[in-house]
Amino acid sequence: MMRVRALLRRLLGDSLASRAAWLVGAVFVVTFALVGWLALQTFERQFLRQAGDHQLAMMHALADTLDHKLDAAQEVLRGAARLVEPAQLRDAGLAGRFLQSRTFLLRSFEQGICLHDGAARQIACSQGEGPEVRHDAIERALRTGQAQLGVRAGAPREVEVLMAAPVFAADRRVAGVLTGRLALFSTQYAGKLMSTKLGRTGYLYMVDGQRQMLMHPDASRLLKTAARPGQNLGLDRALGEGYQGSLENVNSQGLRALSTFVRLPRLGWVLAGNYPIDEVHEPSQRSLQLGLALLAAAALLLTALLVQLLRRLFRPVQSLAQHLRALGQGRPLPFQTVSHGEVAQIATAYNQMLADLGRSEQQRRANEARVLELNARLEQRVRERTAELQHANQELASSLTQITSMQDALVRNGKVMALSRLVAGLAHELNTPLGNALTVATTLSAGNQDFARRADAGALRRSELRSFLDSSRDAALLVERSLQMAIALVGNMRELADTREVLEKTRFDVGRRVEAWIDTQRHRLGRDGVELRLQLERGCDIESYAVALDRVLTQLLDNALGHAFAARPNGSPAPAITLKLETSSGQVPVLVFADNGLGIDAAQLDRVFDPFFAGTLGRQGAGLGLSIVHHLVCNVIGGHISVESDPAHGTRFMIRFPGLVPG
């Protein structure tokens, strides 16, 4: 017992200041531990909720994509079924040729398409005379007259989806069935779902409305019952109540996981994901360990600071004890203190007692008192000045933090605005060709139905047939042009996103490369009546991407022919383009592409390189040409491009390349 007390005395110290410091430090440690534990619990719950929301959003996107692809495939199959003629249900040769001509349908159903008669007998298949396919989906399509969908075992580790669309005779009677088979786990459909991981060991799986497992990393569980009722409560809610969301769950294998359930809206299947709960909690556990370490360090630092502070606060008491000890030894000393309260009263009484010892010592004590007072005032002034400087430093630091935050916010807003303009421009440019294609396709579909009714009624005249063929040809041409416009726009966007990794870096002479490019464009310049003026130097060798330079020149030429020389006033000089290559004093080649066209308005000059900025409304082009030029020059070639324009003299583009390569 004595040893324990001695150890505690050694640890806590003998002074009142040390003991008080340890007591206050213990109170702070307990308080910090409680607050830290509550904060970590709140953080853990919030982190789990955010992880569930993120997982739900990701799986919603995956489920909607798969549901849309399968629904689109079934819609294509129904459309093809409407084109089957009665004679093809009776002749295997006609049926086979019809199936082989459905190239787009064969791309959607890579496992093959087949035609069956009204007795569900197989007439022909796209992959030759394969084994007879019997499936309840075919029987349901014949019985109900509605398109059906079913699943069955395919190749090893594969689930095959069979879609059946009824074929109607002229009297709207079901005369046969057109079926298509596709591999569910192909990259065209659910291949991305199969490879998606949740954390390190988490996975996705999918079941249909009858609890049949359609997708699972364990191939032995495919097309078997996923879990009996009661084994997986989350799956029971998803199948029974239509629940969609994330929750803590225990699956049929006893795994505790953050489970997310999403329903495919058109098919009624359930896509589920299991993220092991131990992996979900790993970040919070690391945060807890870090928090405990920081708490321990803060407690030790706080205790040390409290010991020093309390020792300073109790210093007047220690000084008084020393003066009393000196007085007992016959060495009286005056006692001066800046403390207040009881300590000050004791000091006054002590000093008065010393004053009674003799007037000879009074003047000395008075002088010492004045010196101490002056020192105290000086220290007070130093403390006040120090406090003012600290306050000023804090205000400057706060202002710097606010300015930095505002700069970061402006940068983020600029990026968001640029991305918004890019997305809005792309949507606007794609809307026109796709809208035209959709309108023409809808009109063509209605015309096909009217033509079919007239043909079935036997009232079709030769002039009507010719008119129908002409309108179909015009519609197909319009759809083709619209889709070509969309493909060209997508190609421009891909070119805008190209990086140097897809190109080959070579060493070439810039002047010779420009001359070679000019040889490929002379027919365009001659056709449009544009004069070409060349001022090219030789010997400007650089290591860069020659194909990228060709693309830059082509885009600049397209921009000049499409905008610079359009709607020129009478009396304007003959259109001309100048290509000038020179080497600056710093051995940096500069290529100038200039025209004497209309020029660019000064208010629009800063935006010419923005995506989808097409200048004046009504001009041809989507506004991507100069954006591609800027991307290729700055991000691929590694150079710099600038533009100058004067409505009276045209536009100049200056391309500054990287430094020359020694010969």
* pLDDT at residue 414 is higher than 70: no
Amino acid at 591: L
User: 650, 597 in Cβ contact below 8 A?
Assistant: yes
Using a CB cutoff of 8 Å and minimum separation of 24, what contacts does 310-319 make? 310/16, 310/17, 310/18, 310/20, 310/21, 311/15, 311/17, 311/18, 313/17, 314/15, 314/16, 314/17, 316/343, 317/343
User: 193, 173 in Cβ contact below 8 A?
Assistant: no
User: Beta-carbon neighbour count of residue 72 at 10 Å?
Assistant: 11
Q: Which two tokens stand for residue 370?
A: 């004045």
Which tens digits make up the pLDDT trace of 113-170?
999 998 889 999 987 655 666 688 898 888 988 988 888 888 878 888 999 999 998 8
Mean of the pLDDT values across residues 334-357?
Answer: 68
Mean of the pLDDT values across residues 56-77?
Answer: 90
Which tens digits make up the pLDDT trace of 14-55?
555 566 666 776 776 777 777 777 777 777 778 778 888 888
Q: Would you state the pLDDT for residue 297?
A: 81
* Global confidence as pTM: 0.43
Where do runs of H (alpha helix) occur along 341-361?
A: 342-355
* pLDDT at residue 619 is higher than 60: no
**Which of the two residues, 83 and 292, has the higher pLDDT score?**
83
Where do runs of H (alpha helix) occur along 503-624?
A: 510-528, 546-559
Helix (H, G, I), strand (E, B) or coil at 291: helix
Give 11-26 as a DSSP string. Answer: HH-SSHHHHHHHHHHH
User: 458, 408 in Cβ contact below 8 A?
Assistant: no
Ramachandran assignment for 500, one of left (phi > 0), alpha (psi -120 to 50 degrees), beta (any other) = alpha
**Hey, which of 471-475, 572-576, 652-656 has the most confident mean pLDDT?**
652-656
CA neighbours within 13 Å on the CB side: how many for 185? Answer: 20
Q: Would you state the pLDDT for residue 618?
A: 39
User: What contacts 539, CB < 8 A, 6 or more positions away?
Assistant: 509, 511, 663
**Which of the two residues, 296 and 379, has the higher pLDDT score?**
379
Q: Would you state the pLDDT for residue 2?
A: 65
Ramachandran assignment for 91, one of left (phi > 0), alpha (psi -120 to 50 degrees), beta (any other) = beta
Report d(CA 152, CA 27) in Å as an integer. Answer: 68
Report d(CA 397, CA 409) in Å as an integer. Answer: 18
- Confidence band, pLDDT 50/70/90 cuts, at residue 655: very high
CA 526 distance to own-chain centroid: 47
User: 245, 45 in Cβ contact below 8 A?
Assistant: no
User: 198, 274 in Cβ contact below 8 A?
Assistant: yes
Least Cα distance to 543 among 516, 506, 591 occurs for 506
* pLDDT at residue 418 is higher than 70: no
User: 629, 552 in Cβ contact below 8 A?
Assistant: yes
CA 513 distance to own-chain centroid: 39
Alpha-carbon separation of residue 284 from 2, 37, 287, 523 (angstroms): 45, 12, 5, 68
Q: Would you state the pLDDT for residue 607?
A: 79
* pLDDT at residue 277 is higher than 80: yes
Q: Are strands 531-535 and 576-583 parallel, antiparallel or unpaired?
A: parallel
Which tens digits make up the pLDDT trace of 279-320?
877 777 777 778 778 877 877 787 777 767 776 766 676 676
* pLDDT at residue 181 is higher than 50: yes
Helix (H, G, I), strand (E, B) or coil at 51: helix
Which tens digits make up the pLDDT trace of 189-232?
888 888 888 888 888 999 988 889 989 888 888 888 888 888 88
Q: Would you state the pLDDT for residue 263?
A: 92
Which tens digits make up the pLDDT trace of 470-511?
778 777 777 776 676 666 555 555 555 555 555 778 888 888
Name the least confident of 205-214, 365-374, 407-416, 653-662.
407-416
User: 537, 511 in Cβ contact below 8 A?
Assistant: yes
Least Cα distance to 335 among 312, 376, 321 occurs for 321
Q: Which two tokens stand for residue 18?
A: 């040390």
Tell whether the torsion through CA atoms of 143, 125, 150 and 65 is positive or negative: negative
DSSP H or E stretch at residue 318: helix 315-328
The C-alpha angle 382, 385, 386, rounded to 5 degrees, equals 85
**Which of the two residues, 636 and 320, has the higher pLDDT score?**
636
Report d(CA 471, CA 110) in Å as an integer. Answer: 33
Q: Would you state the pLDDT for residue 165?
A: 93
Tell whether the torsion through CA atoms of 546, 552, 554 and 557 is positive or negative: negative
Q: Which two tokens stand for residue 411?
A: 């940068």
Percentage of residues in the chain with pLDDT exceeding 90? 10
Radius of gyration of the chain measured on its C-alpha atoms = 43
Beta strands in 536-649 (DSSP E): 541-544, 576-583, 589-595, 640-646
Q: Bridge partners of 250?
A: 256
Report d(CA 627, CA 555) in Å as an integer. Answer: 10
* pLDDT at residue 662 is higher than 50: no
Report d(CA 612, CA 221) in Å as an integer. Answer: 51
Report d(CA 214, CA 222) in Å as an integer. Answer: 6
User: 255, 239 in Cβ contact below 8 A?
Assistant: no
* pLDDT at residue 663 is higher than 50: no
User: What contacts 505, CB < 8 A, 6 or more positions away?
Assistant: 543, 544, 545
**Hey, which of 94-108, 330-344, 552-566 has the most confident mean pLDDT?**
94-108
Report d(CA 99, CA 89) in Å as an integer. Answer: 12
Report d(CA 317, CA 334) in Å as an integer. Answer: 15
Helix (H, G, I), strand (E, B) or coil at 226: coil
Mean of the pLDDT values across residues 349-370?
Answer: 74
Beta strands in 28-139 (DSSP E): 112-117, 122-125
- Confidence band, pLDDT 50/70/90 cuts, at residue 330: low
Name the least confident of 42-51, 479-488, 576-585, 638-647.
479-488
* pLDDT at residue 268 is higher than 80: yes
User: Beta-carbon neighbour count of residue 587 at 10 Å?
Assistant: 10
**Which of the two residues, 451 and 587, has the higher pLDDT score?**
451
Q: Would you state the pLDDT for residue 166?
A: 94
DSSP H or E stretch at residue 532: strand 531-535
Report d(CA 224, CA 82) in Å as an integer. Answer: 35
Q: Which two tokens stand for residue 207?
A: 């079941």
